[in-house]
């Protein structure tokens, strides 16, 4: 199963062009939802206005090389490793889910657009990437949703309590899980059930990419931009118009030792 391209087998009944159109439609839904989100929430406008405001209060003019250095370090440290979450379970779950999703989507795109036509052999590395990515996404996303959500771990709400903010992670985990089950049933030759989970796989993807406007999907684009802006503001001295850290040692009192801190 893990070395078999499920889209190549599907191409025996569904034309590869149909799969490609579906994939492009998901990209269009994600792009359209993100644009609507930008227009409604005005996040990008806020970032630009905040950057202009910070420039007026900057104490240092950064050169192009310094800006590139800050951006590069932010991408390598804050974004690619989610270092802001510290050495916590939350960080491990996020990294696993993030890289699993990237592998899953890249594997899907390559196998659908390059290796789904009849008679074309798929290098085993791509199905492996697709399956491993899906497994990582299910583990990372499921770990976060069941045990690490703030309203569950800190506010003692039930893990079965679902709100609109959960749409992204639930649809993401569902899409990966349905894809894995469909691939297994298909490779095992279990007719009927494989079709059911193929439909569920497609529906989960439609919810994931079609629900961008209502979910946290667009945060994948906003968060890196916010991290870069924050670090540039620190480097040029504007610090987003916030007071600089005090020189005095941090003293949170004895109460902080009563409960282990959690990074949200």
Instruction: Tell me the pLDDT tens digit for each residue of 114-156.
Output: 988 877 888 989 999 999 999 999 999 888 888 777 666 666 6
pLDDT at 138: 94
Tokens representing residue 92 in the block: 């491990």
- Asked whether residue 258 is domain-assigned, the answer is no
Asked if residue 165 belongs to a domain, the reply is yes
Any idea which residue has 């491990």 for tokens?
92
- Tell whether the model's pLDDT for residue 253 goes beyond 70: no
Q: Give the chain's mean pLDDT.
A: 82
Q: For residue 82, tell me if it sits in a domain.
A: yes
211 domain residue, yes or no? yes
Strands (E), the chain: none
Burial of 8 (0-12, 13-18, 19+ CB in 10 A): buried
- The residues, ordered by sequence, that sit 6+ positions from 225 with a Cβ below 8 Å of its Cβ are 47
For residues 190-207, average pLDDT: 91
Going by pLDDT thresholds of 50, 70 and 90, the confidence category of residue 255 is low
Flag whether 253 is in a domain. no
Residue 104: per-residue pLDDT: 94
Q: What is the DSSP letter of 110?
A: H
42 pLDDT higher than 70: yes
Q: What are the CA-CA distances from residue 78 to residues 92, 93, 145, 168, 188 (Å)?
A: 14, 15, 22, 21, 42
User: Which residues constitute the domain of residue 144?
Assistant: 6-238
pLDDT band at 185 (very low <50, low <70, confident <90, very high): very high
Nearest to 223 by CA among 83, 68, 69: 83
Is the predicted pLDDT of residue 8 greater than 80, yes or no?
yes
In this predicted structure, the answer to whether residue 238 has a pLDDT above a threshold of 80 is no
What is the mean predicted confidence (pLDDT) over 60-89? 79
Better pLDDT: 190 or 221 = 190
- More confident position, 32 or 255: 32
Rounded CA Rg of the chain: 22
Distance CA 162, CA 218 (A): 19
In whole angstroms, what is the distance from residue 248 CA to residue 38 CA? 41
**Would 243 be classed as within a structural domain?**
no
The domain total for the chain is 1
Whether 263 has a pLDDT exceeding 60, the answer reads: no
Is pLDDT above 80 for 195?
yes
Cα–Cα distance measured from residue 3 to residue 52, given in angstroms and rounded to the nearest whole number: 51
Q: What's the pLDDT at 153?
A: 62
Q: What is the mean pLDDT of residues 163-184?
A: 90
d(CA 94, CA 137): 9
Give the whole-number percent of the chain exceeding pLDDT 70.
84
Residue 168's pLDDT is 87
pLDDT digits (tens, 9 = 90+) for 94-120: 888 889 999 999 999 999 999 888 778
pLDDT at residue 251, as a whole number:
65
CA 138, distance to chain mean position in Å, is 12
Residue-level pLDDT at 201: 94
């Amino acid at each position: 199963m893990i070395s078999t391209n499920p889209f190549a087998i599907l191409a025996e009944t569904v034309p590869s062009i149909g799969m490609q159109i579906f994939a492009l439609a998901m990209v269009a839904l994600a792009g359209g939802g993100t644009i609507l989100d930008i227009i409604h929430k005005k996040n990008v406008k806020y970032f630009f206005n905040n950057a202009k405001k910070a420039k007026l209060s900057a104490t240092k003019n950064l050169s192009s090389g310094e800006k590139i250095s800050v951006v590069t370090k932010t991408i390598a440290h804050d974004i690619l490793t989610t270092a802001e979450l510290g050495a916590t379970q939350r960080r491990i779950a996020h990294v696993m889910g993030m890289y699993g999703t990237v592998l899953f989507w890249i594997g899907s795109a390559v196998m659908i657009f390059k290796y789904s036509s009849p008679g074309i052999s798929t290098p085993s590395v791509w199905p492996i990437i697709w399956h491993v990515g899906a497994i990582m996404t299910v583990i990372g996303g499921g770990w976060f949703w069941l045990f690490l959500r703030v309203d569950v771990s800190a506010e003692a709400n039930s893990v079965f309590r679902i709100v609109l903010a959960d749409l992204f992670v639930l649809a993401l985990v569902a899409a990966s899980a349905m894809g894995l089950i469909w691939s297994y049933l298909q490779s095992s030759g279990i007719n009927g059930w494989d079709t059911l989970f193929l439909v569920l796989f497609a529906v989960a993807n439609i919810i994931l990419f079609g629900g961008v406007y209502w979910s946290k999907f667009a945060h994948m684009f906003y968060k890196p931009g916010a991290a870069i802006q924050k670090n540039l503001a620190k480097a040029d001295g504007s610090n987003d118009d916030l007071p600089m850290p005090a020189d005095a040692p941090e003293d949170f009192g004895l109460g902080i030792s009563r409960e282990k801190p959690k990074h949200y």
